[in-house]
């Protein structure tokens, strides 16, 4: 009995001491999608700002596949010491509805560290697609039923959610082609191997600006103010009434990470989100850095719980599942 008490006290002391000196070695942030894509870009830019505040190197580990669930699983099972974090997006709240078997529980298996940004999406097409605006795309879709390839980053990805709702609203089923992220999907779209994709502005803005892809619409209710995207109509104004998809990114640690470490990372995140360079980069790509209460762990978790309910209903209506 005495031994157990001593061991517990020693463990407590060790945790306290390590939380105090945290971080004394590089921090790995798992990005559950391919390098060079929208989530990776947010992570790399945030990693610089966060690393400067925490005075440590932030290493990005891309663990793509299965719509972000492989990377999330890796972090759910990692040591809860603050040295392995997860930067994920709306997939945290869509995966529970999409996967019958999920190796993690979004609400129970993580410490919530705070939200990072909100990111609108755009509907784009391969450069050779014979449709220059949404009205022409709509006609092309009707004329090509059964032959259309829609790229996405796997079940649970933002591109999947947006593409799923798009197919539902236009009433046309497309062949979905999954990738480990929308960076490789974009390469195939540019090469003409796939026809269309719904992707985050953080990945599409530069391609749209350079005229390398066909750009048809934004997925938010209001048009965007980012110069390169401001001329794009909303899907809502093009007949898809109420179409409104904007995604978010956030930071997580494995469940059981010491409260002092959670507090330290959250405080560093709050400072990093005020970094002028980070804000400038995000805004240029159409993303909006979070300034509201969702930057606090408790509110972040409450928001995600509401998102699970919201998207769960849409997923049940679409009847899309993975075993
Ligand atoms: N965020 C994913 C990526 O970074 C794409 C997606 O969710 O659709 O590739």
Q: Could you give the residue range(s) of every CATH 3.40.190.150 domain in the chain?
A: 22-119+247-318
Looking at residue 321, what is its pLDDT?
Answer: 73
Q: Is the pLDDT of residue 14 over 60?
A: no
Q: Which of 67, 161, 199, 250 to mutate to test ligand 1, by most ligand atoms within 8 A of the CB atom?
A: 199
Looking at residue 164, what is its pLDDT?
Answer: 92
Looking from the CA of residue 41, the nearest atom of ligand 1 is 4
What class, spelled out in words, does domain 22-119+247-318 have in CATH? alpha beta
Looking at residue 38, what is its pLDDT?
Answer: 97
Looking at residue 3, what is its pLDDT?
Answer: 46
Looking at residue 132, what is its pLDDT?
Answer: 96
Q: Is the pLDDT of residue 314 over 90?
A: no
Mean pLDDT of 17-27: 87
Q: Is the pLDDT of residue 6 over 60?
A: no
| Distance, CA of 147 to CA of 140 (rounded, Å) | 11
Q: pLDDT per residue over 61-117, tens digit each? A: 999 999 999 999 999 999 999 999 999 999 999 999 999 899 999 999 999 999 999
pTM passes above 0.85: yes
Task: Please give the CATH topology (third level) of the domain spanning 120-238.
Answer: D-Maltodextrin-Binding Protein; domain 2 (3.40.190)
Q: Whose CA is nearest to atom 9 of ligand 1?
A: 181
| Distance, CA of 118 to CA of 252 (rounded, Å) | 16
Q: Could you give the residue range(s) of every CATH 3.40.190.10 domain in the chain?
A: 120-238
Looking from the CA of residue 38, the nearest atom of ligand 1 is 4
Looking at residue 2, what is its pLDDT?
Answer: 46
**Residue 207 CB partners (closer than 8 Å, separation 6+):** 124, 186, 190, 213
Q: Whose CA is nearest to atom 1 of ligand 1?
A: 39
Q: Which of 69, 157, 164 to mutate to test ligand 1, by most ligand atoms within 8 A of the CB atom?
A: 157
Mean pLDDT of 138-154: 97
What is the Å distance from ligand 1's center to 119 Cα?
Answer: 11
What is the Å distance from ligand 1's center to 155 Cα?
Answer: 11
Q: Is the CB of 34 under 6 A from ligand 1?
A: yes
């Amino acid at each position: 009995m005495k031994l157990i008490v001593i061991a517990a006290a020693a463990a407590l002391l060790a945790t306290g001491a390590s939380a105090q000196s945290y971080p004394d070695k590089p921090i790995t942030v798992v990005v559950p999608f391919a390098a060079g894509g929208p989530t990776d870009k947010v992570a790399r830019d945030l990693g610089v700002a966060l690393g400067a505040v925490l005075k440590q190197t932030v290493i990005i580990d891309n663990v793509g596949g299965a719509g972000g669930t492989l990377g999330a699983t890796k972090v759910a099972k990692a040591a809860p010491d603050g040295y392995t974090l997860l930067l994920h997006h709306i997939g945290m709240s869509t995966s529970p509805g999409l996967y019958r078997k999920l190796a993690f529980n979004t609400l129970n298996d993580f410490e919530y560290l705070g939200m990072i940004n909100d990111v609108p999406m755009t509907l784009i097409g391969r450069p050779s697609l014979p449709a220059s605006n949404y009205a022409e795309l709509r006609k092309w879709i009707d004329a090509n039923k059964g032959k259309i390839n829609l790229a996405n980053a796997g079940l649970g990805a933002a591109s999947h959610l947006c593409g799923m709702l798009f197919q539902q609203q236009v009433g046309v089923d497309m062949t979905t082609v999954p990738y480990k992220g929308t960076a490789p999907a974009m390469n195939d779209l540019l090469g003409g191997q796939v026809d269309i994709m719904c992707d985050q502005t953080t990945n599409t803005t530069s391609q749209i600006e350079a005229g390398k892809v066909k750009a048809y619409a934004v997925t938010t209710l209001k048009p965007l103010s980012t110069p390169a995207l401001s001329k794009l109509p909303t899907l809502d104004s093009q007949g898809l009434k109420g179409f409104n998809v904007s995604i978010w990114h956030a930071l997580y640690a494995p469940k059981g990470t010491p409260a002092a470490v959670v507090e330290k990372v959250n405080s560093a995140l709050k400072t990093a989100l005020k970094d002028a360079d980070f804000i400038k980069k995000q805004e240029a790509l159409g993303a909006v850095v979070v300034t509201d209460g969702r930057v606090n762990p408790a509110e972040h978790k409450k928001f995600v719980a509401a998102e699970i309910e919201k998207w769960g209903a849409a997923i049940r209506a679409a009847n899309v599942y993975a075993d």
